[in-house]
Amino acid sequence: MTQSIPLGEDFPEIRAGIRKICADFPGAYWRDLDARQDYPSAFVSALTEAGYLAALIPEDYGGAGLPLRAASVILEEIHAAGCNAAACHAQLYIMGTLLRHGSAEQKRLYLPQIASGALRLQAFGVTEPSTGTDTTQLKTRAERQGDTYVVSGQKVWTSRALHSDLLLLLARTTPATETKRRGDGLSVFLIDIRTSLGKGLEIRPLPAMINHNTTEMFFDALRVPASQLIGEEGKGFRYILDGMNAERILIASEALGDARWFIRTAADYAKTRHVFDRPIGQNQGVQFPLARAHAETEAADLMVRKAAALFDAGEACGPEANMAKLLAADASWHAGEACMQTHGGFGLAREYDIERKWRETRLFQIAPISTNLILAYIGEHILGLPRSY
């Protein structure tokens, strides 16, 4: 590894800037949106205007040109403040596919507009109802006809599609039966949602346990100009895999932020809530789960930092990115449980925000990749055990 791992509060200016913005978006703001399953437009605008969503876009295209670790800090701080970055986090990592594999013309056309906030690239359509985690078997077809592709099929759980201008879509350009390897024959397209709606693209909200603005997308012979293909036809799965390490590191950072919020909230409460004439935090049954969650969070933080340092040094980081996601998701879930239990009945009261954060952090066990699939990755790729699926 060529880069040392930053310890302590790195990027202090970013941390201070995010904390300042988040102070304007207290629990009541998120509770109200949660009840209505509505999009945090004001919060996303504040982050955009301050330039945080353009952190990873190179300066030549109007962004800040910062390393992934800076984005990791942004997302951790948002979640540690009790807010939620799910409404806009995708822009930070899916933009990488366009940056690494897009043509000079595509980058010139889109990146400056994304950096300025004129265009939102927030939607990433991979998951399908019938194939789930088995991404290489996805069925949405994009058939070349002259200078267009005709796209037909269905996606599920495409978050933010109704609040994004652009969609990064993974679709099949060669039937699975005609490919040599499972990942072959898939291609990535950058689709303009605004001009596609009603012309072969329909998007329906998918109400969920958390306010994630997620949707189902239906493609019925949508015509997409061939100029919207990213990179080479048939290599899309590889391009998407490239971006997945970044996604896992960033989502792990959100989980870390959640864990910190839960532990801080619970410790504050445990010091001040008196039952049986003493603070509940004096009881080891209350104290120890919080202490354990804190230790798990600090350990996960180290793995997140290691993964980000490797990524930013341009080195392979698959094992670290996956382990960071696994450990941080577990830390946040255990911290959420401890926080909920520490609050007794009040943990379930909406006004405390704990039940909302607890629901939100549960997602990290499932998406963007489930815990089982990370364990399977560690078993196969790190320990050299037989592939289990």
Ligand X SMILES: Cc1cc2nc3c(=O)[nH]c(=O)nc-3n(C[C@H](O)[C@H](O)[C@H](O)COP(=O)(O)OP(=O)(O)OC[C@H]3O[C@@H](n4cnc5c(N)ncnc54)[C@H](O)[C@@H]3O)c2cc1C
Restricted to residues 214-243, the positions that interact with ligand X (CB under 6 A) are 214
The distance of closest approach from Cβ of residue 182 to ligand X in the complex, given in angstroms and rounded to an integer, is: 14
Rounded-to-integer distance, Cα 250 and Cα 352, Å: 26
Q: Which residue is nearest to ligand X (CB)?
A: 132
CB of 212 to ligand X, least distance (A): 4
How many CA within 13 A on the CB side of residue 374?
26
The reply to whether 193 sits near ligand X by the rule CB under 6 A is no
Q: Which of the ranges 65-73, 157-165, 340-348, 353-361 carries the binding residues for ligand X, by CB under 6 A?
A: 157-165
Task: Report the relative pairing of strands 201-205 and 214-225 from DSSP bridges.
Answer: antiparallel
167, 335, 367, 338: which is closest to 251 by C-alpha? 367
User: Which of 109, 226, 376, 378 is in the footprint of ligand X by CB under 6 A?
Assistant: 376
DSSP per residue, 169-238: EEEESS-GGG-SSTTTTEEEEEEEHHHHBTTTEEEEE---SS---EEEEEEEEEEEEGGGEESSTTBHHH
Q: Counting contacts by CB under 6 A, is residue 357 touching ligand X?
A: no
Query: Which one, 64 or 367, has the nearer CB to ligand X?
Result: 367
CB of 130 to ligand X, least distance (A): 9
Q: Does position 124 bind ligand X by CB under 6 A?
A: yes
Is 140 among the residues that bind ligand X (CB under 6 A)? no
Choose between 94 and 259: whose C-beta lies nearer to ligand X. Answer: 94
- The span from the CA of 48 to the CA of 56, in Å, is 13
Task: Kindly provide the b/e burial profile for residues 327-362, where b requires at least 16 CB atoms within 10 angstroms of the residue's own CB.
Answer: bbbbbbbbbbbbbbebbeeebeeeebbbbbbbebbb
Give the position of tokens 């909406």: 350
User: Could you say which of 147, 198, 345, 389 contacts ligand X (CB under 6 A)?
Assistant: 389
Cα gap 182→349, rounded to integer Å: 48
Residue 372 touches ligand X, criterion: CB under 6 A: yes
With contacts defined by CB under 6 A, how many residues of the chain interact with ligand X?
A: 22
Q: Does 307 bind ligand X (CB under 6 A)?
A: no
Beta bridge partners of 387: none
Considering only 124-132, 192-200, 343-351, 379-387, which stretch makes contact with ligand X by CB under 6 A? 124-132
**Residue selected from 72, 158, 297, 361 as contacting ligand X according to rule CB under 6 A:** 158
Minimum gap (Å) between residue 99 Cβ and ligand X: 19
* Nearest alpha-carbon partner for 22 in 69, 102, 84, 72: 84
**Candidates 25-33, 60-68, 246-254, 367-375; binding stretch for ligand X (CB under 6 A):** 367-375
Q: Which residues bind ligand X (CB under 6 A)?
A: 124-127, 132-133, 157-159, 208, 212, 214, 363, 366-370, 372-373, 376, 389
